[in-house]
């Protein structure tokens, strides 16, 4: 097995592990809802969270990393919970 094959295997394994450990995002105010989540990046350490205001059809997104615990988008505040932390 060559070096590049070994390196690609390590990146693929890390990406797979990160895809299995999705964050749980909760809006504190309750006026927004999560539409979907997608794992982004080569190694997959970031998640793009798609949300919308309740009753609206337009959606927006924000990105969270492993170091993200909370934040706000506009007037809506959210908390992020990571499995295993």
DSSP string, 5-71: HHHHHHHHHHHHHHHHS--EEEESSSSEEEEEEEEESSS--EEEEEEEETT----EEEEE-TT--EE
Q: What pLDDT is recorded for position 63? A: 95
Ranges of residues in the chain with a pLDDT under 70 are: 1, 18-19, 85
Domains held by the chain: number: 1
Q: What pLDDT is recorded for position 48? A: 96
Q: What pLDDT is recorded for position 85? A: 64
Residue 76 sits in which domain range? 3-81
pTM to 2 decimal places: 0.78
């Amino acid at each position: 097995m060559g070096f590049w094959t070994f390196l690609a295997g390590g990146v693929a394994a890390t990406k797979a592990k990160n895809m299995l450990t999705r964050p749980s995002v909760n809006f504190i105010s309750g006026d927004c809802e999560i539409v979907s989540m997608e794992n982004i990046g080569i190694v997959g350490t970031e998640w793009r969270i798609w949300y919308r205001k309740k009753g609206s059809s337009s959606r927006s997104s924000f990105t969270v990393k492993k170091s993200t615990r909370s934040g706000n988008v506009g007037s809506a505040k959210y908390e992020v919970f990571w499995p295993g932390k």
